[in-house]
Structure 1
């Protein structure tokens, strides 16, 4: 959503192209987002992605890499150009977000996204007139809600899509919704099992 909002912000507020894009967006789903971008969060995410490991516990397993990465990123985030861009992106989320319902999917156990940050952002959107809804898990990791709770996750998406696209035919039968096993090739399924 950050990229879309940033593009909408770069167009003139009265731009017909921006208005057209905004009018076509019926709903926004945010999975494990947004984050308060800090050196700590950014470095843990970067190291976890680089090592292909979950962010949960990355300080313990790769602290030797997280600490210096945090120091470097902390300095980069203080550079005025980056600071300004980060502030502009955060503001665009609030000022240029499409005026449509938003569904937030997040967890208390997320190592990168603090639930309080998600909830504060939802409150800001609500004060600005946006309709928001949420589903919070207690124990799923960052962007792992579908993997841990495929039926519940799918149910949340289907309910949201039915609400924002009532005129459209939406998949409602469980057999019509692909399961994780149907979506992922066998090799990827085995990798997920090994990681768990």
Structure 2
């Protein structure tokens, strides 16, 4: 019941002009000043808060500008439930991402 109430309330709150304007400014700043570090996106088409197509568009934009992207779609998992529903797979994705990050850092240090 609470989830249903929140699902109805969030669209209303997020569409209040002042809130919407602040969110838009935050997203614009993130887009303009996104750090060049590797990025990991764990998402799902079952997420009702963050649409998977929005995540996928963002990933493509980041790849176009040369960012190193790791991503995985859990397909049916609701928002922030990926670890709870798929703990081994989630941990594996995170582990692989961190290994790749540390490998790149080690290579950069060796190049110095």
| Partner in structure 1 of residue 102 of structure 2 | 165
Contact persistence 1:104–1:135 (CA under 8 A): yes
**Structural RMSD (CA):** 2.4
| Partner in structure 1 of residue 49 of structure 2 | 112
**Alignment partners' CA distance in 2, 1:127 and 1:101:** 14
Contact persistence 1:101–1:131 (CA under 8 A): yes
Change (3 A) 1:87 1:131: same
TM-score by length of 1: 0.47
Change (3 A) 1:71 1:85: closer
Change (3 A) 1:113 1:98: same
Secondary structure of the residue aligned to 2:8 is: helix
Secondary structure of the residue aligned to 1:113 is: coil
Secondary structure of the residue aligned to 1:157 is: helix
Which residue, out of 54, 58, 61, partners 1:124? 61
Which residue, out of 88, 92, 98, partners 1:155? 92
Give unmatched runs, 5+ long, in structure 1. 1-47, 168-196
Structure with max Cα Rg? 1
TM-score by length of 2: 0.78
| Partner in structure 2 of residue 37 of structure 1 | none
Shift in Å at residue 96 of structure 1? 0.9
Shift in Å at residue 66 of structure 1? 2.4
| Partner in structure 2 of residue 94 of structure 1 | 31
Secondary structure of the residue aligned to 2:96 is: helix
Secondary structure of the residue aligned to 1:133 is: strand
